[in-house]
Each structure stands twice: as structure tokens, then as C-alpha cells.
Amino acid sequence: MDIHEYQAKEILARFGVAVPAGALAYSPEQAAYRARELGGDRWIVKAQVHAGGRGKAGGIKLCNSEHEIHEASEAMFGQKIVTHQTGPEGKGIYRVYVENAVDFTREIYLGFVLDRTSQRVMIVASSEGGMEIEDISASRPESIVRSTVEPAVGLQEFQAREIAFKLGIPAALTQAMVRTLQGCYRAFRDLDATMVEINPLVVTADNRILALDAKMTFDTNALFRHPQIAELRDKSQEDPRESRAADRGLNYIGLSGNIGCIVNGAGLAMATMDTIKLAGGEPANFLDIGGGATPDRVARAFRLVMSDRNVQAVLVNIFAGINRCDWVAEGVVQALTAEPVDVPVIVRLSGTNVEEGQKILAQSGLPILRANTLMEAAERAVTAWKNDRKQMMRAV
């Protein structure tokens, strides 16, 4: 789960990371008022969206007066910001963060991620901050500092000092850098984060270490331990299909294809998408209905897939172990009976109670295409989709 910059800064500040003074606004008038509250003579107005690259897309503006703040925020509210991370559909701007502008002399990149190879928290830092880590890695790989944290003891002060020395932090600011590193690590560890990123972390003109930007991502499976973090979720920044699926306990990721997938098990779902590609089609989604799916759950999954207007065929692929094929068949029949669809539906069942499941499909009287193998199912789905598209074109 992602959160906004202002939320990440509030969290990191509680763990001892220094951040500039700032305030949230939901309207241009409120943004101007926030600037008066903060004081000063220069402010930064930042669009709050779950995406990087906001500056290049016009989502960050330097303002020298309340009038400029009003104009800048008014131009942002209700608009879509499109960056390399949002895709062409963009993200809506519904709140802005007003922050005192800070003069700085250096920019540093700082990131904490879970390195699955070493099974440790990995600290990635660079003296070349202010740009994406991918760009830093390509242009200045020698500037990157990496350090893994031993989970039994956590980030020790000597280790944090070593990172500070490698980044060329002045001796007078070493202890401040140590506090920043240790604060980020504690936030990462204590809140079950999967990423903490500060870019840039700056050395200010008056010799302070400040986090000018911050991102945090959390392990969704651990949110039950952190209700205060779960409350920070902003559904307006999520794919509505994925948000709706998550609320119903389904694992769904929307894609750009046109063959909808309903599968049990993440591995089988990946294999199904690969087989659709191999057969010449494009999957419209990843959807894992999980084990022990009831007919109602299958029906909900079906309605979710059909909510995507790009779907022109549906492939249901079930290998039943914990699941039961008759339950899945009942769910498919239930969904198609309640809300008939005008696209081909292909069902492949295998495993527990497969004979009963096939019988339910056959006796339903519904136009369901059946297949015995995954390859056959994918080929039938692609063929049915192509034939259906040709018929639609002839009709037009």
C-alpha cells in the first residue's frame, strides 16, 4: 500500500527524521491560508499523488506570494497528472501540500528496501540526489552506497556513520545523518514497510539535514497489525477495479489486454496469462480467487472481471485442490444467470469434483465453451475472441 508524501513525512518525523514545515490543503483558498500559517516568503506547492516525477509534469511549483500559491494550486486541483509512473491515464489531484521553501547546498538520495536475495533490509544511498535512482545508477554508479542491516541487531550507529562518511557528509552533520538513517530504519522495521525513500535528502544552507520528499510503501499483508497505517489508504489514487477487488478479498491486477482471467492460485494465474500470450491473445487482468472459493466468491470475481469494458472474452481456469470444481461451476452459472454477458466464456476445470462441475456447466443451458487443458482453453479463448470481434465488425 502506498501513501502520500505528507503522510510519509508525518510518520518519519515521529521517528526523528527532520522535515520542513508544511500543511495540507484541499482547495486553493485553503492553500493560501496554509502559507499564512506557515509564515516565510517562499513556499512550495506539491500535488499529492501516488507517483514520482511530479516536478517534470507540473505537479510542484515554487511560489513567492499567496496569490501565486492560489493560482498554482487552482491549476492543479481536479486535474490529472501524467508521469512515467502513472501511465497515460494519469492520477487525479485532490489535495496539495504547502511547504516552506528551503535553501540547500547538497542533494542526497536515500532508500530502504527489502532485498530478497540477502533477506535483509538494504540501504541504498547516493551523493547524487534529486533524480531517479535508475538514472543515478546509469550515469553515476560509483556514487551509490549499499549496506545491508543485520536483523538481529538492527542498524547500528557505527554502520550509519560509515554510510555518512561514504556520502561525504561534513563531520558537524554526521550525528544528524545518523539520526536520519536510524529513524528511517525504525520506521521501516516497526511499521512493516517495504520501501522508505527520501529523494532528495538535503544539506541546507544553515547546516541541517532535511527530507524534502518522502515515499513509503507498506506490506498489505501486515496492515492488520497497523490499523493507523491502513487508515492512510487513498482509494482515489488506486485503480478502481483493484480497489474493489481488495475490498472483496480478491487478488486482482488490471492489465491492458482483452481476455479476462479468473484463476485460483497465483502461479496458475501467471501460467494462464503466459499461455494466453502464447496463443496470440492479451490478458486483461491477473485475478487469483484463492483457495476454498464459494459460488458467491466466484460470482463476485466474474462481475469484477466484466466491469472492465476492454474484456472481450473470459477464461476461467481452475485446478481444484482446496477448491472444488462444482463450486466454481455453480459460481459461473450463478454469475451468468444473474447478469448475462455478450462475450465468449471459456471454462477449464480440473481436480476435485471435476465431473460434477462439468455436469453443472453442461446442464446449465448457457453458451459456455469448455476445455480440458490450459493450452486448449487459451486457444479457444483467443479464437472465440477473434471470431466475436469479426462478427461485431461485420455488424458495423
For residue 66, say whether it is annotated as part of any ligand binding site. Answer: no
What is the residue type of 115? D
Q: Which residue has the higher pLDDT, 84 or 305?
A: 305
For residue 324, say whether it is annotated as part of any ligand binding site. Answer: no
Give yes or no for residue 199 having a pLDDT over 80.
Answer: yes
Give yes or no for residue 137 having a pLDDT over 80.
Answer: no
* Boundary-marking domain end, from 196, 229, 262: 229
Active centre residues (catalytic)? 109, 197
Give yes or no for residue 388 having a pLDDT over 70.
Answer: no
Q: How many helices (H) and strands (E) does the chain have?
A: 13, 18
Find how far residue 60's CA is from the centre of its chain.
Answer: 21
Is 269 found in the same domain as 161? no
Give yes or no for residue 41 having a pLDDT over 80.
Answer: yes
Q: What cell numbers appear for 10 in the block?
A: 508525518
* Boundary-marking domain end, from 173, 206, 229: 229
For residue 213, say whether it is annotated as part of any ligand binding site. Answer: yes
Give tens-digit pLDDT for 60-94. Answer: 999 999 999 999 999 999 888 888 777 777 888 99
CATH number for position 262: 3.40.50.261
Give yes or no for residue 243 having a pLDDT over 80.
Answer: no
CATH number for position 85: 3.30.1490.20
> Residue 291 has what pLDDT?
65
Confidence class for position 394, pLDDT limits 50, 70, 90 = very low
Give yes or no for residue 396 having a pLDDT over 60.
Answer: no
In a domain? residue 48: yes
In a domain? residue 15: no
Is 251 found in the same domain as 210? no
Is 25 found in the same domain as 41? yes
Is 146 found in the same domain as 204? yes
Q: Give dist(CA 160, CA 157) in Å, integer.
A: 5
Give tens-digit pLDDT for 322-370. Answer: 778 888 888 888 888 888 888 889 999 888 888 999 999 998 888 889 8
Q: Phi and psi for 284 in degrees, rounded to 5?
A: -90, -15
Confidence class for position 98, pLDDT limits 50, 70, 90 = very high
Q: Report the relative pairing of strands 345-351 and 368-371 from DSSP bridges.
A: parallel
For residue 107, say whether it is annotated as part of any ligand binding site. Answer: yes
Q: Give dist(CA 349, CA 341) in Å, integer.
A: 20
For residue 231, say whether it is annotated as part of any ligand binding site. Answer: no
For residue 161, say whether it is annotated as part of any ligand binding site. Answer: no
Q: Give dist(CA 366, CA 379) in Å, integer.
A: 20
Q: What cell numbers appear for 23 in the block?
A: 500543511
Positive or negative, the CA dihedral 364, 365, 367, 371 is positive
For residue 99, say whether it is annotated as part of any ligand binding site. Answer: yes
Give tens-digit pLDDT for 161-185. Answer: 999 999 999 999 999 999 999 999 9
In a domain? residue 71: yes
174-190 helix and 157-166 helix, angle to the nearest 10 degrees: 120
Is 191 found in the same domain as 121? yes
Find how far residue 393's CA is from the centre of its chain.
Answer: 37
Is 205 found in the same domain as 270? no
Q: Give dist(CA 251, CA 305) in Å, integer.
A: 12
In a domain? residue 386: yes
Q: Give dist(CA 6, CA 391) in Å, integer.
A: 52
Q: Where are the beta strands (DSSP E) in the chain?
A: 22-25, 43-47, 60-63, 80-81, 91-92, 96-100, 104-115, 120-126, 144-149, 193-204, 209-211, 215-218, 251-254, 259-263, 285-288, 313-320, 345-351, 368-371
Is 134 found in the same domain as 90? no
Is 211 found in the same domain as 248? no
Is 303 found in the same domain as 175? no
Average pLDDT of the chain to the nearest whole number: 88
Q: Give dist(CA 215, CA 191) in Å, integer.
A: 14
For residue 317, say whether it is annotated as part of any ligand binding site. Answer: no
In a domain? residue 5: no
> Residue 173 has what pLDDT?
95
3-state secondary structure 166-229: HCCCCHHHHHHHHHHHHHHHHHHHHCCEEEEEEEEEEEECCCCEEECCCEEEECHHHHHHCHHH
Number of other residues whose CB lies within 10 A of the CB of residue 150: 11
For residue 55, say whether it is annotated as part of any ligand binding site. Answer: yes
Is 385 found in the same domain as 264? yes
Query: pTM of the predicted model, to two decimals?
Result: 0.77
Give yes or no for residue 296 having a pLDDT over 80.
Answer: no
Positive or negative, the CA dihedral 310, 316, 319, 324 is positive
Total count of domains within the chain: 3
Q: Phi and psi for 214 in degrees, rounded to 5?
A: -155, 140
> Residue 391 has what pLDDT?
56
- Give the DSSP letter of residue 27: S
Is 382 found in the same domain as 307? yes
**CA proximity to 66, closest of 102, 48, 42:** 42
* Boundary-marking domain end, from 194, 229, 264: 229
Beta bridge partners of 46: 60, 97
Find the domain containing 312 and state its range.
240-395
Question: Which distant-in-sequence residues (6+ apart) come within 8 Å of 90 by Cβ?
Answer: 80, 81, 82, 83
**CA proximity to 259, closest of 313, 180, 196, 300:** 313
> Residue 68 has what pLDDT?
94
Give yes or no for residue 393 having a pLDDT over 80.
Answer: no
Is 269 found in the same domain as 367? yes
28 close to 74: Cβ distance less than 8 angstroms: yes
For residue 323, say whether it is annotated as part of any ligand binding site. Answer: no
Give yes or no for residue 395 having a pLDDT over 80.
Answer: no
Give yes or no for residue 216 having a pLDDT over 70.
Answer: yes
Give yes or no for residue 283 having a pLDDT over 90.
Answer: yes
> Residue 101 has what pLDDT?
93
